Each structure stands twice: as C-alpha cells, then as structure tokens.
Amino acid sequence: MNSTPALLNRVLLTVLGLILLGTGLLLVLVAAVPSVGPWWRSWSAGAWDAASRLFDSTRFPGRPESWLWIVVAVTLLALMGLMVAWIAQQGKGRSNLVASEYDPGTIPGDVRIGGGVAEHALRQALEGRPDLAGATVTTYEVKGSPALKVRLLPRPGVAPHLLAAEVSGLLDALESVVGREIPVLIHIGAGARTRFSRAERVR
C-alpha cells in the first residue's frame, strides 16, 4: 500500500531486460554461429567508423580530445541521477499523521492527530482476543491523504469474514473518535511464510 511506482518499475525492468537479453543473445550468436561473425564485423565496423568520425569532427580546437566525451560523461551522470531517484521511490509512503486539518472552530490553529492514536487504540481493542495471534496497525499516505493498514494474524481456523466484520466495527468507532473518514485496508495474513508459497494447503 506504499507508493512504490508499480507501473514504472515494470516498464523499466522490461526495457532493461530486453536490452540485456538482446545483448546476451547477440554475444551467444556471434560466438556460436559462424555466419553471424562476418555480418557482425561488417555492421559494427560501419557503426564504429561513423562514431569515430563524429568524435574526430568534434575536437577541442588545438587539442586531440573531443568534447563529445564530456557530453557522454554528463549524460551518464544524468542517468545515474535518474537511477538514484528511481531507487528512492521504492517503498515510500509511511506517514505519522491520521488527520491534519484546519479547525474551523473559535480557537485558531490546525488539528493534527498522529498515527499513534489509531495504532494504540486498535491494539488496545484487539488485545486479549483469543482468535488473534497478533495485530499491527500502520499509517500510510496514499496520494496525499492518510490511510490505515491493519494487519491481522489470526490463529488457524478463524473465519476471516467474521474477523473482518468485527474489526471494521472497531474501525467505525475509531473514526467517530478521530472525527474523520480514513480509508482502511485490512490484511488478514498467515505470517511471513506466505510470501514464498503459492498454493496454500492446510491440514
């Protein structure tokens, strides 16, 4: 529920995957198929000639180096910057506030309610339930508005829909306390093992 850019990740991974796959297959073909060798040599020699002519024509006046190298370096630096930005986008979105709003009452100022309120209230309410092995509540920021994620770890055999209905009653109560509607996602999980297995079997 964080703001990891899912589509961007997929697009960039696909592009990078295609490039790497193409390069790898080309290398394999050049090495393994004899008829590809001459074709590759003629094609790449032509490309390299064009590139080196370009480098020759863009020299600094009076020096052997081409200023195109600086362009290359700057482009690669920009690429590095983009990559760092891409990494920084992953897994963002946790926040600390459940509500933050201008109070229209007589006292001037804003009202801010921290995520700890929701967390503590729900944990208190869920504590001591025999059908729950654990519960965590985290506050996220989805597109600028706060949202709650409630993660429940029920004991084996608990009916998930009944549990969800009861917890949503608690959430209703929380909302009337906080005084504002918060989008909520309830995740009823079975622990970390589920990440690795696909078909779920239970005796």
**Interface residues for another protein in 155-194 (CB under 8 A)?**
156-161, 164-165, 168, 171-172, 176, 179-181, 183-190, 193-194
Indicate the pairing of strand 184-188 with strand 145-154: parallel
Query: Minimum distance from CB of 135 to another protein (Å)?
Result: 14
Based on CB atoms, which residue is closest to another protein, 20 or 134?
20
Shortest CA distance to 137 belongs to which of 178, 197, 198? 178
Total site size for another protein, rule CB under 8 A = 97
**Residue 189 has what DSSP assignment?**
-
Cβ of 190: how many Cβ atoms within 10 Å?
13
Query: Minimum distance from CB of 125 to another protein (Å)?
Result: 15
- Residues 65-104 touching another protein, rule: CB under 8 A, are 65-67, 69-70, 72-73, 76-77, 79-80, 83-84, 86-87, 90-91, 103-104
- Residues 13-52 touching another protein, rule: CB under 8 A, are 13-32, 37, 40-41, 44-45, 48, 51-52
The binding track of 107-146 with respect to another protein, each residue x by CB under 8 A or -, is ----x------------------------------xx-x-
Distance CA 41, CA 31 (A): 12
3-state secondary structure of 81: helix
Query: Minimum distance from CB of 202 to another protein (Å)?
Result: 4
Distance CA 100, CA 88 (A): 25
Query: Minimum distance from CB of 61 to another protein (Å)?
Result: 14
Phi and psi angles of residue 189, each rounded to the nearest 5 degrees, phi first: -115, 175
Amino acid letter at 40?
W
Shortest CA distance to 4 belongs to which of 82, 88, 90? 90
Query: Minimum distance from CB of 192 to another protein (Å)?
Result: 11
User: By the 8 A CB rule, do 89 and 76 touch?
Assistant: no
Question: Taking CB under 8 A as the rule, does residue 6 contact another protein?
Answer: yes
